């Protein structure tokens, strides 16, 4: 049996897999006839994953605000900008979650759902553009293992849900939209 994954590594795994699902979703949208069932499972994954990402990022933000010296005004100004970006992403994810639910409960047809997915995918691609973490120095210096455990919130239930949702996407993916073949910021599929 392998050693358990560290909380910080778990965050990395979740974020890489989210990038893979976003790639799978984009590939699914490029199909001649996008499959609404596939888009729905990708969307369900992303709603859960983005909600977790928001929780984790807000936990990081709170700790950084408390621990970065107030004299470092550039860092604090950046945290304010990050907070604003997170609020926009949170609102967009909540609105999209409602559209996913409307489709799943038959209140929205497939064509309208594909349009909603396209709009959300475009929005998220812009908001989630890969960028170097400007706070890595602070998190490396100021955060303890206990901080990372609280930030990751990697309960057995959360880990199992992520695996279940990923498997659902994988089960409906065409070879062109297989999430495991999608590149990530870190150069490829997770190890």
Mean pLDDT per 10-residue segment, the chain (191 residues)? 78 93 96 96 97 95 96 94 92 96 96 96 81 85 95 94 97 96 60 32
Specify the pLDDT at position 132: 72
* Cβ-based neighbour number of residue 60 at 10 Å: 21
Specify the pLDDT at position 45: 98
- Give the separation between CA 38 and CA 68, rounded to whole angstroms: 43
Specify the pLDDT at position 188: 36
Specify the pLDDT at position 190: 36
Q: What is the pTM of this model?
A: 0.91
Q: CA distances (Å), 49 to each of 80, 99, 108, in order?
A: 23, 16, 23
5 DSSP assignment: P
Specify the pLDDT at position 189: 35
Specify the pLDDT at position 2: 54
Tokens of 151: 């930030």
Task: Specify burial of residue 5 (Cβ count, 10 A radius: 0-12, 13-18, 19+).
Answer: middle
């Amino acid at each position: 049996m392998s050693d358990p994954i560290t909380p910080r590594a778990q965050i990395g795994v979740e974020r890489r897999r989210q990038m893979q699902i976003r790639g799978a979703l984009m590939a699914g949208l490029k199909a001649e006839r996008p499959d609404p069932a596939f888009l729905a499972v990708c969307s369900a994954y992303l709603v859960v994953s983005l909600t977790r990402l928001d929780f984790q990022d807000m936990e990081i933000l709170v700790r950084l605000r408390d621990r970065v010296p107030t004299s470092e005004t550039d860092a604090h100004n950046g945290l304010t900008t990050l907070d604003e970006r997170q609020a926009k992403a949170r609102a967009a994810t909540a609105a999209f979650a409602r559209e996913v639910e409307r489709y799943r409960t038959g209140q929205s047809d497939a064509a309208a759902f594909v349009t909603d997915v396209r709009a959300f995918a475009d929005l998220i691609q812009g908001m989630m553009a890969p960028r170097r973490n400007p706070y890595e120095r602070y998190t490396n210096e100021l955060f303890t293992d206990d901080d990372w455990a609280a930030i990751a919130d990697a309960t057995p239930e959360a880990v199992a849900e992520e695996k279940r949702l990923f498997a659902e996407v994988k089960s409906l993916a065409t070879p062109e939209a297989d999430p495991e073949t999608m590149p990530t910021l870190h150069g490829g599929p997770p190890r």
